[in-house]
Amino acid sequence: MTRAFKKVRERSFVEEAAKHLGAAWHIGDDREHPDFLIAEGGKKFGLEVTEVFAGTQSRAGSAMKILESGKHKRIESLRQAFEATQAVPLRVQFVGDFCDSNLTNVVDALIAIDFPSKPVAHRVILDEHNGLRVHATKALRPEWYNVMDRVGWLDRAPQRKIADAIKSKAQELPRYKSAAGADVRLLIVADRLQNSGKLSLEYDATFDLRGFQSVYFYSRPECVTVLRNGKETDGGA
């Protein structure tokens, strides 16, 4: 993930979270340590953004997220190749055996359909006969994804992962405060649109906020929870 893409993604998370909270956040320019300076009602605060993931973790990060990112890059290259020939937004869903050999002819097959001449919502199904099926629909904006990366088990008790994220980011809190002042907050995001982010806090819990003024948990795209402060956490610290 490039830095530019990461910052766009983080800004989107902040904008969505503000809407869920009903907050009038005026988001400053992209920066680092913390990620954003926010103005609200004559006051300003710093906001750091971090993601948490389901499944196993290693020093390299989330194993599930790494696999998803590899598939996403491959899909993005297919989208760009198609749009270089036909500048038409498509919603393309890949279902089944997502391997290079099955993807070889996808772009040529989509180009052959002549989507520019078709009405919006025109839909076709390409069957590669090797365990991959591609659903393509002429749309208003492009959306290409692997379906199997979006359907998975939901972790309903991610307290440990949330507590670990707070603890990790708190190590940088003096640095954040030196840049943004005493009011520094943390937005923790679980992107449930992907299997790697299928986390939902469905049980009442308190967390040691470790010096953050507020900590928000955004189970995207459904809800934002303002975490309650407490020295003991259900997930441990």
pTM, two decimal places: 0.72
Distance CA(216)–CA(205), nearest Å, equals 13
Same domain, 158 and 91: no
Q: List the structure tokens of 200.
A: 């939902």
pLDDT of residue 30: 87
pLDDT of residue 76: 93
Distance CA(25)–CA(124), nearest Å, equals 42
Residue that finishes a domain, picked among 116, 149, 182:
149
Residue that finishes a domain, picked among 123, 149, 175:
149
User: Using the 8-state DSSP alphabet, how is residue 93 labeled?
Assistant: E
Structural domain that includes position 205: 3-54+153-229
**For residues 136 and 110, is the Cβ–Cβ distance under 8 A?**
yes
What's at 213, amino acid-wise?
A: Q
Same domain, 36 and 86: no
Same domain, 81 and 134: yes
Within-domain flag for 187: yes
Report the 10 Å Cβ neighbour count for 188: 27
Same domain, 132 and 208: no
Within-domain flag for 38: yes
Same domain, 69 and 124: yes
pLDDT of residue 232: 52
User: What are the pLDDT tens digits along the chain (237 aa)?
Assistant: 567 788 999 999 999 999 999 999 999 998 999 999 999 999 999 999 999 998 777 666 677 777 878 888 999 999 999 999 999 999 999 999 888 888 999 999 999 999 999 999 999 999 876 889 999 999 999 999 988 877 777 788 899 999 999 999 999 999 999 999 999 999 999 999 888 888 999 888 899 999 999 999 999 999 999 999 986 544 444
Within-domain flag for 225: yes
Counting the structural domains of the chain, the total is 2
Which one, of 45, 47, 42, lies nearest residue 30 by Cα? Answer: 47
Same domain, 176 and 222: yes
Residue that finishes a domain, picked among 121, 149, 177:
149
CA angle 71, 77, 79 (to 5 degrees): 100
Same domain, 142 and 206: no
Beta bridge partners of 126: 134
